[in-house]
Amino acid sequence: MTYASVKPLTLTLGHLYPDQLNLYGDRGNIMTLQRRCQARGIELRVVGLGIGDALAPDEYDMLFIGGGQDKEQAPVAQDLYELKGIGLWAAVEDDMPVLAVCGGFQLLAHYYRPAEGPDMRGLGVFDAWTIHKGARVARCIGDIALSWNGTTLVGFENHGGRTYLGTAKPLGKVLKGFGNNAEDHTEGAIYRNAYGTYLHGSLLPKNPHFADHLISLALKRKYKEDDDESTIAAFSATNNGQRLEQDTSEDVLAVTTLTKEEATSPSPLTLAPLDDTLEWEAHTYILERLGLHNAATAAIRTHIKQ
């Protein structure tokens, strides 16, 4: 393990349609990203992109789009397709991390067919489509847990639309809850570093490992070509908001330098750990409440220091 001085790390997150798609506490996802970056001395700048604003992909390192009601999605769908679509597609193909929740997830698929009115055309980032079967069919509401990357994700879902995947890879397999359509046990979709999901604003607060996954992907993408002898500096731990750049003990790792080969590998970089005891207690509480006791025990053993 080698250590080096840290250059200031900065990221810019584009928040699409913050005024239109703002239901169910989805701002909690952005607040979590900000807090976890700040705790490591990383500056995360959040820029709102509303209707009429162009999306220049080279100005951002991450993108987020939340959920809203059907009546709010129609003008968003038109703006997304006609104005922001080219920039968003370019960002996705360049492996920019994108998190799309509920309505945002639906609009990044091929189309959304509401209970009433014409179809809303999506961007087709995800090979998927969504159909709302009308008021007579119960909404998918409640806590949800799914398997992801050898562990679990938990959250809260509230959607009337049913999403069906074509060739898209799901984000995870539903352990308890409804997921994409309450039929095939899939939840969400993945394309490159774009993630669609029905898990709302409790997603990142209760899943710190997924939040860090997005942050590390963004940092790796931005800093993969470092000017200092082809190395890339990973991320400092903090103590009461102060950077620990001199301490090289294992529990307060300041900086890890990677070779150029490591820096350009497909796996995300490893962030310095934070004290996530409360987050994992909230995570395991949802698992216990859903009756997933073995998964809760596994989460405690893996993530909460004894």
What is the set of active-site residues?
102, 200
DSSP string, 210-272: HHHHHHHHHHHHHHSS-TTTT-EE----EETTEE--S--SGGG----EE-HHHHTSSSPPPPP
DSSP string, 21-85: S--TTTHHHHHHHHHHHHTTTEEEEEEEE-TT----GGG-SEEEE----HHHHHHHHHHIIIIIH
Task: Please state, in angstroms and as integers, the Cα–Cα distance from residue 56 to each residue in 13, 37, 89, 193, following that order.
Answer: 12, 23, 11, 18
Q: What is the rounded distance in angstroms from the CA atom of residue 73 to the CA atom of residue 102?
A: 11
Q: What is the rounded distance in angstroms from the CA atom of residue 13 to the CA atom of residue 212?
A: 14
Computed from CA positions of residues 160, 80, 218, 170, in that sequence, does the dihedral angle turn out positive or negative? positive
Q: What is the rounded distance in angstroms from the CA atom of residue 29 to the CA atom of residue 47?
A: 14
Residues forming beta bridges with residue 211, ordered by sequence position: none
Q: What is the rounded distance in angstroms from the CA atom of residue 35 to the CA atom of residue 42?
A: 9
- Does 139 show up as a binding residue in the annotation? yes
Residues forming beta bridges with residue 81, ordered by sequence position: none
